[in-house]
Amino acid sequence: MSHKYQVHQLVRITHPRIWDKRASASGIYEVTRLMPADQTGEVSYRIKSSGFGERAVRESEISAKASVI
């Protein structure tokens, strides 16, 4: 499976958990690293938001940030 998102692309977590202390207030994260597929074949990413450090997410957990025109 190939990656849908690229390094430096802005994404959102599709179903953020309210209790997640790692969640960004803006909900916007930057892809910092493309990671290999897991045992199920789904690829993962490292994402970060200013002040919240990095975290790993599966591709199904994120979506592209909508562009504002």
| Domain count within the chain | 1
What pLDDT, in 10s, does the model give residues 7-53?
A: 999 999 887 665 555 555 567 899 999 999 999 999 999 999 877 78
Q: Specify if 25 maps to a domain.
A: yes
Q: Specify if 2 maps to a domain.
A: no
Whole-number Å distance between alpha carbons of 52 and 18? 15
DSSP-derived secondary structure letter, 60: G
Q: Specify if 52 maps to a domain.
A: yes
Residues of the domain holding 20: 9-64
User: Cβ distance 11 to 62 under 8 Å?
Assistant: yes
Q: Specify if 54 maps to a domain.
A: yes
**Reduced DSSP (H G I as helix, E B as strand, rest coil) percent helix, strand, coil of the chain, to 5:** 5, 40, 55
Q: Specify if 13 maps to a domain.
A: yes
Whole-number Å distance between alpha carbons of 29 and 12? 6
Q: Specify if 1 maps to a domain.
A: no
Q: Specify if 17 maps to a domain.
A: yes
Single pTM value for the model: 0.80
